């Protein structure tokens, strides 16, 4: 089961630790955030203890109106065994009662100066990205003209060499050999490289290449939305390949359907240029310009015009 540790969000969002240091390794399994307003009033019947607890100006302003005994009671109940972390936002002063209860139970308390609503959005985006369903695929992910292109195919077909040529032409490498893919929203797949091989490209006969050091920071990208899949396969003389592009194929990755093209590989074909054109053509189709459909319409019109002429000649006879 995917999780994020408290120390992960502390570093990622630049938060300050106020209490409960021994609990920084606690795991967060849900992207939902709780703002315990009713809990500050004493209603804990449906308290979602397993979520990140976010205390902002509203919650703490009400909390400060309570009696001392009530304050201690609220914070002791807020710091349950299942509570992963409590975050105080908007630069509000962390209550002494919260620090005491957190230290006693080992619940980490973090604080930030960011306004509550804005921070809630930042934290939700971060957690949803990290906790999204994930899978891995063998392939190469490149950013071509802003389009995330996932190159697939059998080992040795030339995926990495094609990616190298694309980088030399000004495009960016995201991942080589193994691509981690997260479904962060409906029909939205984000791909990245595992930390171990980030920025690395394998070329048979040469070995591993550090693309960032070799070509500069502009040659790599940490992650990219996958928009199109291009499957490279060795040319088969007995197979009929799509020559017009009217039949759009798709590939299902988790619950998302991605447009898929099959490009045959044989000596003499410039794959990098073909992939550039495929990326540009995909963008044009999304803008409503489809060359294949336009050709089909022209052909149908020409056939219809020729048929009308034949019918007219038949009537004259």
Q: Which of the following is catalytic: 159, 172, 182, 221?
A: 159
Query: In 187-212, which positions are buried (b, 16+ CB within 10 angstroms) versus exposed (e)?
Result: eebbbbbeeeebbbbbeeeeeebebe
**CA distances, 251 to each of 33, 54, 77, 152, 245 (Å):** 34, 40, 49, 11, 16
**How much of the chain is helix, strand and coil, in % rounded to 5?**
40, 30, 35
Contacts of 314 (CB under 8 A, 6+ apart): none
Distance CA 138, CA 178 (A): 5
Q: What CA–CA distance (Å, rounded) separates 19 from 291?
A: 62
First to last CA, the chain: 79
CA distances from 270 to 134, 195, 265, 266 (A): 33, 31, 9, 9
> Does residue 243 have an active-site annotation?
yes
Handedness of CA 116, 47, 43, 105 (dihedral sign): negative
The answer to whether 77 is a known catalytic residue is no
| Element holding 297 (H helix, E strand) | helix 291-316
How far is Cα of residue 204 from the mean position of the Cα atoms in its chain?
29
Cα 287 to Cα 300: distance, rounded to the nearest angstrom: 23
Could you say which of 68, 93, 186, 243 is catalytic?
Answer: 243
- Catalytic site residue from 8, 50, 73, 177: 177
The CB-side HSE value for 166 (13 A sphere, CA atoms) comes to 34
Cβ atoms of 98 and 109 within 8 Å: the answer is yes
Residues annotated as catalytic (active site), given as ranges: 159, 177, 243
């Amino acid at each position: 089961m995917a999780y994020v540790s408290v120390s992960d969000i502390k570093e990622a969002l630049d938060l300050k630790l106020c209490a409960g240091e021994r609990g920084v390794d606690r795991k967060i399994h849900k992207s939902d955030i709780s703002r315990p307003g009713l809990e500050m009033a004493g209603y804990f019947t449906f308290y979602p203890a397993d979520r990140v607890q976010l205390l902002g100006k509203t919650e703490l302003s009400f909390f400060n109106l309570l009696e001392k005994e009530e304050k201690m009671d609220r914070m002791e109940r807020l710091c349950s065994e299942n509570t992963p972390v409590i975050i105080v936002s908007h630069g509000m002063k962390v209550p002494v009662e919260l620090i005491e209860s957190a230290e006693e139970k080992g619940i980490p308390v973090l604080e930030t100066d960011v306004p509550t609503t804005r921070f809630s959005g930042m934290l939700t985006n971060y957690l949803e990205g990290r906790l999204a369903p994930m899978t891995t695929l063998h392939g190469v992910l490149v950013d071509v003209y802003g389009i995330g292109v996932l190159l697939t195919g059998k080992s040795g077909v030339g995926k990495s060499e094609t990616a190298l040529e694309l980088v030399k032409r000004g495009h960016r490498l995201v991942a080589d050999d193994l691509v981690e893919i997260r479904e962060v929203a409906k029909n939205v797949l984000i791909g990245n490289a595992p930390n171990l091989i980030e920025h690395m490209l394998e070329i048979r006969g040469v070995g591993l290449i550090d693309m960032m050091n070799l070509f500069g920071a502009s040659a790599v990208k940490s992650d990219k939305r996958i928009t199109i899949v291009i499957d490279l396969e060795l040319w088969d003389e007995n197979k009929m390949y799509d020559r017009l592009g009217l039949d759009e194929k798709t590939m299902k990755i988790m619950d998302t359907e991605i447009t898929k093209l099959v490009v045959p590989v044989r000596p003499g074909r410039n794959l990098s240029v073909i992939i550039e054109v495929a990326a540009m053509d995909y963008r044009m189709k999304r803008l409503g310009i489809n060359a294949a459909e336009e050709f089909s319409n022209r052909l149908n019109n020409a056939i219809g015009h020729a048929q009308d002429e034949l019918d007219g000649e038949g009537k004259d006879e």
